[in-house]
Amino acid sequence: MAVTIKSEREIELMRESCKILAEVHLKLGEAIKPGISTWEIDHLGENLIRSYGCVPNFLNYNGYPASICVSVNDEVVHGIPSKERILMEGDIVSLDAGLIYKGYHSDAARTYPVGRVSAQAAKLIEVTKQSFFEGIKYARAGCHLHDISNAIDAYCSQYGYGIVRDLVGHGIGTHLHEEPQIPNFRQWRKGIRLRPGMTLAIEPMINMGSCYVEWLDDDWTVVTEDGSLSAHYENTVLITEGDPEILTLLPDQTLI
């Protein structure tokens, strides 16, 4: 399937889908505290999504068994929620969530500290988030895909972090995953030229140590090979004639 350009009507539906997801994330973030299980986070997330009349798009996607991916510490992405997994003070937790509104998908992820965390963990979370904002400086009509990848890589590499290569961002719209793939690491090929109406899920996954990852026996949970911490930050973004629109942030969250 080729890269899709959304019509004005489709863009409106994407905006609404993403705004609902931003609200879901806000409420999930407020629920993060020591003692909560990753199952409770998923349960809350699924109920929130359905309370807006939307459908969780991760649930049953290629057999994924939950609505929210909850990944703790060295888990990079796609952690499976469990009643036995209780968040503890000092953990970091990545929440990846998505939903479908009137046929249009949204996708976003944030990493949170659980209570007080080490200065190094807090730094990893902050740099990962900032790398997204470095990347979207190039999420503009006329730029090429590799401008985004290269900006994320250049920013994270300064800190000696490992940039995950086995998983990438993606186009999004009537499907959760559309073309193009959006790597977070240095690309020598330019990739496609960005055009207004493209909607992209840009999602750096950054490890404190090695860039290498492994899959657990559940065939979902991705962990760092060296056991180091990992952070994830993702938003669905609209390419416009001017500045990119970060669709999965609420208006007061974009002022950074």
Task: Give the residues lining the site for ligand MF3 (CB under 6 A).
Answer: 58, 61-62, 64, 69, 78, 96, 98, 107, 201
Residue-by-residue DSSP string for the chain: -PPP---HHHHHHHHHHHHHHHHHHHHHHHH--TT-BHHHHHHHHHHHHHHTT-EESSTTGGG---SEEEEETTEEE-PPP-TT-B--TT-EEEEEEEEEETTEEEEEEEEEE-SS--HHHHHHHHHHHHHHHHHGGG-STT-BHHHHHHHHHHHHHTTTPEEP-S--EEE-SSSSSEEEEE-SS--SS--PBP-TT-EEEE--EEESS-S-EEE-TTSS-EEETT---EEE-BEEEE--SSSPEETTS-GGGS--
According to the binding rule CB under 5 A, does residue 107 interact with Co ion? yes
Q: Would you say 18 or 201 has its CB closer to ligand MF3?
A: 201
According to the binding rule CB under 5 A, does residue 201 interact with Co ion? yes
Q: Would you say 141 or 167 has its CB closer to ligand MF3?
A: 167
Residues 231 and 254: their CA atoms lie apart, in Å, by 20
Site for Co ion in 27-56 (CB under 5 A): none
Residues 136 and 152: their CA atoms lie apart, in Å, by 9
CB 172, min distance to Co ion, A:
7
Residues 220 and 139: their CA atoms lie apart, in Å, by 30
CB 90, min distance to Co ion, A:
27
**Contact partner at residue 75 from Co ion, ligand MF3, none, CB < 5 to 8 Å by partner kind:** none
Q: Would you say 58 or 161 has its CB closer to Co ion?
A: 58
**Spatial CB neighbours of 148, under 8 Å, sequence gap ≥ 6:** 135, 136, 138, 139, 182, 202
According to the binding rule CB under 5 A, does residue 77 interact with Co ion? no
Q: Would you say 107 or 147 has its CB closer to ligand MF3?
A: 107
Stretch that binds Co ion, among 50-58, 193-201, 205-213, 244-252 (CB under 5 A): 193-201
**Contact partner at residue 69 from Co ion, ligand MF3, none, CB < 5 to 8 Å by partner kind:** ligand MF3
CB 211, min distance to ligand MF3, A:
18
**Contact partner at residue 134 from Co ion, ligand MF3, none, CB < 5 to 8 Å by partner kind:** none
According to the binding rule CB under 5 A, does residue 223 interact with Co ion? no
CB 9, min distance to Co ion, A:
23
**Contact partner at residue 61 from Co ion, ligand MF3, none, CB < 5 to 8 Å by partner kind:** ligand MF3
**Contact partner at residue 78 from Co ion, ligand MF3, none, CB < 5 to 8 Å by partner kind:** ligand MF3
Q: Which residues bind Co ion (CB under 5 A)?
A: 107, 201, 203
